[in-house]
Amino acid sequence: MQIALIAHDSKKELMVQFCIAYCGILSRHDLCATATTGKLIAEATGLKIQKYMSGAQGGDQQIAARIGCDEIDLLLMFRDPINRGESEPNEINLLRLCDVHNIPVATNIATAEVLIHGLERGDLDWRSIGNPL
């Protein structure tokens, strides 16, 4: 499965900790992320991550384009709904694309844990059947 990882600045450490905790599951999938988030995760976990530009430079739009082409199967986007900075990714377009393309998406750690356990159980295998790459 193709998993995209995005985190607002105040949630990057939480994303790193999440990826450390679920490194075994994530290592069996193809990962991509915006630049800083991907760098932090790769350094902490050793996971191979395709890194796009930073969110401020359009990395979230690069991931959005992959979602629009059905090249992403799961989006984990830890967002800060209270203190989003001007240069941080705008999640509205990403969420809309996920809805249009039936991409499971988590915007917080609680939902991310549900999805990662579902991924481990095979609950998301329907993505591979409907979108073989």
Catalytically annotated residues: 60
Identify whether the C-beta of residue 32 lies closer than 8 Å to the C-beta of residue 4.
Answer: yes
CA dist 125 to 13, 54, 96, Å?
29, 30, 22
d(CA 31, CA 82): 27
d(CA 78, CA 14): 8
Cross-strand pairs, 5: 33, 76
**CA dihedral of 7, 122, 45, 102, whole degrees rounded to 10:** -20
